[in-house]
Every structure is written in structure tokens, then in C-alpha cells.
């Protein structure tokens, strides 16, 4: 899990450039719109990453709403802070399993595609509930299974050919490894959330060429660490193989693939 959460070196910049608009921006807008309806005054974001949701919240919410954007990974926060500055956004390194905030401090806790990385999801859910005010809301999303997300599924299949005896499994294991709605609702219930709703949201992932998702997934996620652990000289080969597989499936120009996620709304 520690390896899967390692976003260091050039990964944050590649992640933001390629995967940000490809798969994260559509759901960031979705979360920001849902959150705006709740009319919060103080918002906590966990696993903020490179600030994709943070920027969407700052653009969508009224000026008097404060946003505490946190992440365990300091390089991701450093990159986010360089890309976006606002007087109402506070960037802070924080562990979602041990939040450095008082009880009942926030109206909303929001997390985009981060809970899959938490080593103890029940503890993270309990911490989110602890820092929420009475009737506060925990809003987060998770990816559906990898077969329902066409670009990463195609990349994973390509890498299984490049490394047939020990294929990288990061994408299926972690980002797409926590999608069972019944299981997640039960963990929320055990953490104390008694009123939980879930929407399954399908969108389109669009890139100007197959190269963009190939670089994004192979070089802009911890899957890069898996590839280089097998052979540090084969990162380019792996990326090229992913590009070839994407081209074969989606064509050589603008490519469009299906993406699907589950959005949870849990009230304290």
C-alpha cells in the first residue's frame, strides 16, 4: 500500500498533465456541483493530490467558503500549490487516518478517488465522521471495476504482454480495486454513517491521441514504479506497447473511452 501511494519524482506533473483532463476533471466538476448544493461554509478535502477538485471547488463555491486541502503525499501538494493559489485555500499535509483537526470542524469532507489508497478505510471513514459537524456530509467517489474503464483496462492488458511472467497490477489492484458498493456502504455504517446514498456515474474519457493515456497511466501513476522495479530500462517500451494497444482498440487520432465511477454521499 505504501508503494501504491508513492507519487514522487516526475509522477505528479505527468499525472496532472495527462490524467487530470483525461479522467479526473469530469468527476471533479461532478463533485463540485454536488457539494455546492450543500451550501457549506468550511470544507475539508482529503487526498487532494494535484488539486483537481480543489480548483473546481474554488471556481464553483461562493467566496466566503474556506477549503482545507490535504494529502499525505507532500510532492503532490507542492505541485498543487504551485499550480493554484487562493487566499481561501489552505494546503496542508495530513494523514486521512489521523486528521489534525478538531471534532465537528467541517460542514463537508470531500475526497476524489482517494479512499482506495487508504490502508485502513474504516479508520479513514471514522475520522471523516469525527471532523464533521452534526448533519455534515462526507462526499467521495471511487472507480468502478477496471473492465468498466476502457483506457486503463487496455493499458493493463498491454503490459501483461510486455511482462508476461510478472505483469504490473497497480491499476486493477488499487485505483480499481475498491468498487463493491455493498462492502463500502457496510464500512460506512460501521464507521457511524447511517444515511448513505450512492450514484453510479458514467462519463467519456477523451484524449487527442492514444499517446496521452499511454503516458498518463504508465508514467504518471505508481504503475511507473512497478514497471521500473521489473526493469528500469523498459519504461519507454511499456509506454509504446500501451500506445499501440490503445491505437488498435480506439484508432490513431482523437480517442474516446468509457469511464465509470460510484459517488457516495454519507451524512453524519
Domains along the chain with CATH numbers: 11-267 (3.40.50.150)
Mean pLDDT confidence for 29-40: 97
Mean pLDDT confidence for 206-210: 97
Confidence class for position 4, pLDDT limits 50, 70, 90: very low
Determine the pLDDT at residue 76: 86
* Contact present, 146 and 156 (Cβ < 8 Å): yes
Confidence class for position 95, pLDDT limits 50, 70, 90: very high
Spatial CB neighbours of 199, under 8 Å, sequence gap ≥ 6: 262, 263, 265
Determine the pLDDT at residue 9: 61
CA–CA separation, 12 vs 49, rounded Å?
Answer: 8
Say whether pLDDT at 56 is over 90: yes
Say whether pLDDT at 233 is over 80: yes
**Please, which residues bridge with residue 139 across strands?**
110, 265
Say whether pLDDT at 2 is over 60: no
Q: Which residues of 152-171 are buried (b: 16+ CB within 10 A; e: fewer)?
A: bbbbbebbeebbeeebbebb
User: What's the predicted TM-score (pTM) here?
Assistant: 0.94
Determine the pLDDT at residue 247: 98
Confidence class for position 228, pLDDT limits 50, 70, 90: very high
Mean pLDDT confidence for 150-157: 98
* Contact present, 129 and 264 (Cβ < 8 Å): no
Determine the pLDDT at residue 11: 77
Say whether pLDDT at 219 is over 90: yes
Burial of 105 (0-12, 13-18, 19+ CB in 10 A): middle
* Contact present, 170 and 229 (Cβ < 8 Å): no
CA–CA separation, 236 vs 52, rounded Å?
Answer: 27
Amino acid at each position: 500500500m505504501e508503494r501504491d501511494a508513492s507519487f514522487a519524482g516526475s509522477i505528479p506533473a505527468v499525472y496532472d498533465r495527462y490524467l487530470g483532463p483525461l479522467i479526473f476533471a469530469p468527476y471533479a466538476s461532478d463533485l463540485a456541483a454536488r457539494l455546492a448544493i450543500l451550501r457549506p461554509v468550511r470544507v475539508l478535502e482529503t487526498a487532494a493530490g494535484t488539486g483537481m477538485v480543489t480548483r473546481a471547488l474554488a471556481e464553483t463555491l461562493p467566496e466566503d467558503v474556506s477549503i482545507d486541502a490535504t494529502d499525505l503525499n507532500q510532492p503532490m501538494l507542492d505541485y498543487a500549490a504551485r499550480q493554484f493559489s487562493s487566499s481561501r485555500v489552505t494546503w496542508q499535509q495530513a494523514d486521512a487516518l489521523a486528521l489534525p483537526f478538531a471534532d465537528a470542524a467541517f460542514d463537508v469532507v470531500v475526497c476524489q478517488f482517494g479512499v482506495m489508497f487508504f490502508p485502513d478505510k474504516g479508520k479513514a471513514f471514522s475520522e471523516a465522521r469525527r471532523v464533521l459537524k452534526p448533519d455534515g456530509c462526507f462526499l467521495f467517489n471511487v472507480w468502478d471495476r477496471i473492465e468498466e474503464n476502457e483506457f486503463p483496462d487496455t493499458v493493463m492488458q498491454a503490459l501483461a504482454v510486455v511482462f508476461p511472467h510478472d505483469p504490473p497490477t497497480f491499476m486493477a489492484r488499487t485505483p480499481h480495486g475498491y468498487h463493491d458498493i455493498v462492502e463500502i456502504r457496510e464500512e460506512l455504517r460501521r464507521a457511524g454513517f447511517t444515511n448513505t446514498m450512492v450514484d453510479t456515474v458514467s462519463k467519456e474519457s477523451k484524449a487527442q491521441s492514444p499517446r496521452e493515456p499511454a503516458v498518463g497511466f504508465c508514467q504518471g501513476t505508481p504503475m511507473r514504479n512497478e514497471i521500473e522495479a521489473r526493469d528500469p530500462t523498459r519504461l519507454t517500451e511499456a509506454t509504446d506497447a500501451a500506445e499501440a494497444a490503445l491505437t488498435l482498440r480506439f484508432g490513431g487520432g482523437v480517442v474516446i473511452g468509457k469511464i465509470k465511477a460510484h459517488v457516495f454521499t454519507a451524512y453524519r
